[in-house]
A and B are shown apart, each in its own frame.
Chain A
Amino acid sequence: MPRGMQKSRTLRRVFRKTPGSRNVLHYKKRKPSKAHCSSCGAELKGVSRERPYRTNNMSKTEKRPERPYGGVLCSRCTRKTIKENIKKEKT
């Protein structure tokens, strides 16, 4: 009998090929949800979607875009905020 954990779909299933060319089922935890822009709610691109044990080993540039507000705002909203900041400086 499979274990209860293996019957439910809380864990995702991954097929792994063994060195002996056997296909084996592995059970892994699901990936976290996608990152979203904090102002417009659009999905952020270039933000890594992994469990912390993987992201901890990643470099900073792999985790989020390298521009200001990278990983927080989408590219459209960064442009907007930068333009707004310029207008604020003038006044």
Chain B
Amino acid sequence: MIEIGRLCVKLAGRDAGKRCLIIDILDDNHVMIDGQTRRRKCNIDHLEILDKTAKIKKDASNTDVVAALKKIGIEVQSKEKKEKKEGKKRPRKAKKKKEKPEKKGKTSRKEEKAKKKEQKQAKKQKTEKKSS
């Protein structure tokens, strides 16, 4: 009954109720399994053996096992991580900015920076003209 490619159902642990194929026979009591379960060593007592078999090689890769299971009619969920869904974000409360009354005579920092830039550029142009 127990042979490589035999379809089983796991009975114990967190993979209980999931289908798997036997990949390798380790000793009288233990086998390697893969499929819907994790790829792991397993006691034969923790497996319910079913009547179907799939043609796979010893120590078949996970993709081969998934393909073999698909032929039997068992789909395996891909183990790739799902991308995080963007949940509905609550609109953040915008803080009210205090409007400061602009003082006359003083220019704001931005304006000062802009002025300085202009002066620098003018100087550069002058020097370039001289050199040329």
A contact residues vs B (CB 8 Å cutoff): 66-68, 75, 78-79, 82-83, 85-86
Contact = CB atoms under 8 A, between A and B. Distances in A.
B105 interface: no
Given A79-B11, A86-B9, A67 B16 contact: yes
Contacts of A83: 11, 48
Nearest to A83: B48
A67 B48 contact: no
Contacts, number: 25
B69 to A, nearest CB: 15
Leading 3 A-B pairs by shortest Cβ distance: A66-B14, A67-B16, A79-B11
Nearest to A78: B16
Contact of B48 (A66, A75, A86): A86
B119 to A, nearest CB: 65
How big is the B interface, by class? under 10
Given A83-B48, A86-B48, A86-B50, A68 B12 contact: no
B16 A82 contact: yes
A contacts with B: majority SS = helix
B59 to A, nearest CB: 27
A86 B17 CA distance: 9
A71 B48 CA distance: 22
A75 B12 contact: yes
B87 interface: no
Contacts of A86: 9, 48, 50
B16 A68 contact: yes
A82 B9 contact: yes
B13 interface: yes
Nearest to A85: B17
Nearest to B46: A79
